[in-house]
Amino acid sequence: MKQHEAVIKVMEGRGGYATLGLLYQEALNVPGVAWKTKTPFASIRRIVQDDRFFFKIKPGLWALKSYKNNLPNEILSLIEEDKLREEEKKFTHSYYQGLIIEIGNIKGFNT
10 Å CB burial of residue 8 (0-12, 13-18, 19+) is buried
Per-residue model confidence (pLDDT) at position 70: 85
> 48 and 98, same structural domain?
no
Q: Which phi and psi (to 5°) does residue 11 adopt? A: -65, -40
Number of other residues whose CB lies within 10 A of the CB of residue 17: 21
Helix then strand then coil, in percent of the chain rounded to 5, is 60, 10, 30
- pLDDT, averaged per 10 consecutive residues of the chain (111 residues), comes to 95 93 94 92 95 90 89 77 59 78 84 72
Per-residue model confidence (pLDDT) at position 85: 58
User: Which range of residues forms the domain containing residue 88?
Assistant: 72-111
> 56 and 79, same structural domain?
no
- The domain that holds 12 is classified in CATH as 1.10.10
Smallest CA-to-CA distance from 44 within 27, 58, 56 is with 27
